[in-house]
Amino acid sequence: MKIGHTDINASAITFGAMPIGGGTWWSGSDDKVSIDTIHRAYDLGINTIDTAPIYGLGHSEEVVGKAIAGQRDKYVISTKATFDWDTGEGRFWHEVDGHKVYVAHGYKDIIKDCENSLKRLGTDYIDIYYTHNPVRDPAWLEKYPVEDTVRALMDLKKAGKIRCIGSSNVDPEHIEAYMACGCEIDIIQRKYTILARGVEENILPICEKYGMTFHAYAPIERGLLTGTVTKDRVVPPGDAREDQAWWAPDKLPHAIDFVDGLKDICEEYHCTQTDLAIAFIRHNRPYVNVIYGARKIKHLEAGAATVNVTLRDDTVAEIRRRAEELEAKYGG
């Protein structure tokens, strides 16, 4: 599929490189295994990789850089600006693995972020470059005007250091503000799952309106929708799932019952719960690109063929009905 109005030819499934960053968020990552998994992804037709400096505080980008070394032209790489650590610059976000993380959207900050990412990735250009989060606080908006953020992104694009511009975790007003400043946005990234469907009301329509690609992350709710999680699962402090609503101890058992309850639909379509979860968010939306995170080949292969599952409208409606019933009883 093409990304937005560009000529970037990306696979419909993107390899999500957040888990390979390791650290407290995703403990137990093995770099060699991660690199082998990225190579296996390419063999399966997945040429697109999504990463960010914050994933393992640069480690994910470094591992991706090692994986694509000597074959950069085969891959479509997306990464992000605005998060940095131990700089004392910008708004303090929180501490990660003993480092203080800050968010800054200034012109110089974004240029610096891009240069750092280029070094870690071992490349001289980035295909898709996101601002990781928008400025929401009015006080910080005075310090970091949208015009400065957009100018940095456009200058990077004119210089050939990035091929297209994206925005991550934004709301419609942020997208409109960027575009009002002349920003050429081709892709929007937000979470979208069976159990987190808010983007259907406000973000997907704006993507359709402007011909943007939608980059859906966490499609399987960080593993919850795979059907492999048990009710006695305990999320350790600092884990990437710690702040996810359906992973909370009081909600997890009910979410697992919901996932187990989808087996009848899986049997009908001869697919797994992972296939079903991804097929749901791709349903009738050719502009949706799905980020599937993996750090082991067996996990990758479990979701790599999901583009082959096509659901009927009545099936999607039934899945939605069950999800709404769950949410009505236990919240989301």
Q: Which residues are catalytic?
A: 55
79 beta partners: 129
Q: Give me the helices (H) in the chain, please.
A: 31-43, 59-68, 107-121, 138-143, 146-158, 172-180, 199-210, 252-260, 263-269, 273-282, 297-303, 313-330
Phi, psi values for residue 220, rounded to 5°: -110, 25
The Cα angle at residue 221 between residues 92 and 271, in degrees rounded to 5: 160
Cα(246)–Cα(225) distance, integer angstroms: 10
Burial 81-118 (b: 16+ CB within 10 A, else e): bbbbbeeeebbebeebeeeebbbbbbbebbbbbbebbb
Q: What is the DSSP string of 125-147?
A: -EEEEEESS---SHHHHHHS-HH
Q: Are strands 83-85 and 99-103 parallel, antiparallel or unpaired?
A: antiparallel
Phi, psi values for residue 167, rounded to 5°: -130, 130
Q: Are 91 and 106 in contact (CB under 8 A)?
A: no
Helix H or strand E encompassing 79 = strand 76-81
Burial of 211 (0-12, 13-18, 19+ CB in 10 A): exposed
Place of tokens 């957040």: 18
Q: Are 102 and 88 in contact (CB under 8 A)?
A: yes
